[in-house]
Structure 1
Amino acid sequence: MGASDQSRTVDERGESAAAVEVDARSTRRIVNGNRLHVVEAGGKANPLVVLLHGFPEFWYGWRNQIGALVEAGCRVLVPDQRGYNRSEKPAAVSAYRRRELSQDVVDLIESDGRDEAYVVGHDWGGLVAWDLALRFPDTVERLAVVNAPHPSAYRRQLLANPEQLRRSWYAVLFQLPWLPERACRYDDYRLLERSLRDQAAPGTFTDDELARYRRAWDRDGALTGMLNWYRAVARYPTTTPTDRVDAPTLVVWGEDDAALVPSLAVDSADYCTDSRLELLSRTSHWVPHEEPTQLTELLLEHLFDG
């Protein structure tokens, strides 16, 4: 645990450091028994921020925030989470249980010589961030979650809100074997492309950016690894010691999220002892891409002025 090897500039297969606009390095770290690809930037003595991406993205989804955080005096680690892009892709669905995903982040923080960090997550990365704050509270100094519901809030909405149940139909489809992989791969990953482009404001995702995503999706085992996150939720329901988050928490929510009802944002904030809720009107699920400057400003205020 904690090993780091083979550092390089982030320029492999089109993953250009210019996209980050700071001096960033591509590294490999052994965490929780798996080799993760991690982009790191910023001085090692600076406050540590860990950025966790969601589905169907990879580290590149945080490119608009990395530079600003580094310029503000942060050290930033952005992993490809297990199953994604250039990180290891365990075959077993059980390897994608929430507690394993959270342990990856604990070990990643330790691999940088730290006991705690500011943790920021979007989509599935936000679900890992919630779990981390509940399961390993001493690891999270401050928490920020973007369009990802607190697990108890999500369960409550699924049971009580038919609209949320309707919006979650795709998660049921993803439980099937091999068919979701075939559907996602069909016509040069058209389904995954549409999940990004069609749900976001026009022009949010450029052709060049989508080409980068296709390269990540096309890596051996990537589609199955990504989908196994959904399969593990159904097969291995998670429990945590508490549902109350004590770390100061920022919840940012694009109100036009096609998959998640806005009331989830309010419910999620209610599970936090110290919370700040920011609802962004006319903004979709893809907040880091649609409102990168506003999100970065909110993160910096929460991390350092809150």
Structure 2
Amino acid sequence: MIHYISCPPSDPAKSKGTILLIHGFPQTSYQFRRVITPISDAGYHVVVPDYRGAGESSKPWTGYTKDIMARDLYRLVTDHLSIKDPIHVVGHDIGGMVAHAYAVLFPDSTASVCWGECPLPGSQPYHEVKSTMPFFHFTFHCVPDLPELLVQGKERIYLKHFYDRHGQNPSAISTHDLDVYATAYAMPGSMRGGMNTYRAFEADGEMNNKWVKEKGKCKVRCLNLWGAQSFSDEKTAMTMAEPYYEEVGFEMVTGAGHWIAEERPAEFVEKVLKWVESK
């Protein structure tokens, strides 16, 4: 079961289309609380799920490769919500990896894709950073069972480390917001689900490179969106995306670290809508 938020435009008859927002780790659909209404007010139907293993969605033991997670969301959009027109897919962090899989698997159902703040598994930048200290959790989360046991009861402390370390705007994630996320990840199976998304990275990387060899570059136009004070730069981001897409754009959000939609919500909305409406 995939839990989701659905926010249609004020006049559905004049809808400009659907935008699917996919959160990352350690977050939930709550990540997009400040941008849902502005995007909807711009004329779009906004759909914001908790992906499998997170928030109010089911938390199975398996199925955390990004192709399976993308298929979850495709079924949500096409079967449950009966949306037949191509949609715009926007993903952040782990959600960015899912967004990439969605665009590759369902190009005819994807009008555009926007992702960032994630080293895409299989790419050159991913291999360069995955074992470095700022990304210690890439290795830690892949250890079977132990991370969940060590973090149990200390979810708030563990999550706060990431919000503090990777953010530029300290006020973006308040004490209340931290409580919301900590409560979500203290739910049975939630932290395990989060760790399992990392445990699938190597399989994801093999799949990403297999797809491009078999299918060629993805024809869906792709925007790479990053925080200006995050770990990436334009050269790194383009090196990450260009081997996988025929058309790649790049945008930086000034004054934002990793948590773009929370640190600079107005700029996030501006960049996403500019890309969505550019063609």
Q: TM-score, normalised by structure 1?
A: 0.79
2:185 is aligned, of 217, 228, 236, to 217
1:183 is aligned, of 150, 155, 171, to 150
**Does the 8 A contact of 1:184 with 1:192 survive in 2?**
no
The equivalent residue for 1:169 is 136
- Separation in structure 1 between the aligned mates of residue 5 and residue 39 of structure 2, nearest angstrom: 14
Instruction: Please report how far the alpha carbon of residue 158 of structure 1 lies from its aligned counterpart in structure 2 after TM superposition.
Output: 4.2
The equivalent residue for 1:4 is none
Instruction: Please report how far the alpha carbon of residue 186 of structure 1 lies from its aligned counterpart in structure 2 after TM superposition.
Output: 4.5
The equivalent residue for 1:199 is 166
Instruction: Tell me which moved more, 296-305 or 163-172.
Output: 163-172
The equivalent residue for 2:3 is 37
Aligned partner letter, 2:180? R
Query: In the alignment, is residue 113 of structure 1 matched against residue 82 of structure 2?
Result: yes
**Does the 8 A contact of 1:51 with 1:76 survive in 2?**
yes
Q: Which has the higher strand share?
A: 1
Instruction: Please report how far the alpha carbon of residue 282 of structure 1 lies from its aligned counterpart in structure 2 after TM superposition.
Output: 4.6
**Does the 8 A contact of 1:101 with 1:128 survive in 2?**
yes
The equivalent residue for 2:200 is 232
Instruction: Please report how far the alpha carbon of residue 151 of structure 1 lies from its aligned counterpart in structure 2 after TM superposition.
Output: 3.9
Q: Cα distance 1:122–1:158, how it changes in 2: closer, same or farther (>3 A)?
A: closer
Higher normalized contact order (CA 8 Å, seq sep 6+, divided by chain length): 2
Matches within 5 A, 1:74-85: 74-85=44-55
Post-superposition Cα deviations, 1:192-232, rounded to whole Å, max 9, x if no partner, equal 12211332122121011111111111111111111111112
Secondary structure of residue in 2 paired with 1:219? coil
Instruction: Please report how far the alpha carbon of residue 284 of structure 1 lies from its aligned counterpart in structure 2 after TM superposition.
Output: 1.2
1:247 is aligned, of 206, 217, 220, to 220
Q: Cα distance 1:193–1:173, how it changes in 2: closer, same or farther (>3 A)?
A: same
Tell me, which stretches of 5 or more residues in structure 1 are unaligned?
1-34
Matches within 5 A, 1:1-306: 35-43=1-9, 46=15, 47-92=17-62, 95-110=63-78, 111-115=80-84, 116-153=86-123, 156-159=124-127, 161=128, 165-166=131-132, 167-200=134-167, 201-234=169-202, 237-239=206-208, 240-242=210-212, 244-258=217-231, 263-271=235-243, 272-306=245-279
- Separation in structure 1 between the aligned mates of residue 153 and residue 100 of structure 2, nearest angstrom: 33
Q: TM-score, normalised by structure 2?
A: 0.86
Secondary structure of residue in 1 paired with 2:166? coil
Instruction: Please report how far the alpha carbon of residue 183 of structure 1 lies from its aligned counterpart in structure 2 after TM superposition.
Output: 3.0
- Identity percentage over the alignment? 25
**Does the 8 A contact of 1:84 with 1:226 survive in 2?**
yes
Q: Once superposed, what is the RMSD of the aligned Cα atoms?
A: 2.2
Secondary structure of residue in 2 paired with 1:76? strand
Instruction: Tell me which moved more, 273-282 or 213-222.
Output: 273-282
**Does the 8 A contact of 2:120 with 2:240 survive in 1?**
yes
- Separation in structure 1 between the aligned mates of residue 106 and residue 155 of structure 2, nearest angstrom: 39
Aligned partner letter, 1:37? H
Tell me, which stretches of 5 or more residues in structure 2 are unaligned?
none
**Does the 8 A contact of 2:125 with 2:236 survive in 1?**
yes
Instruction: Please report how far the alpha carbon of residue 107 of structure 1 lies from its aligned counterpart in structure 2 after TM superposition.
Output: 0.8
Aligned residues: 265
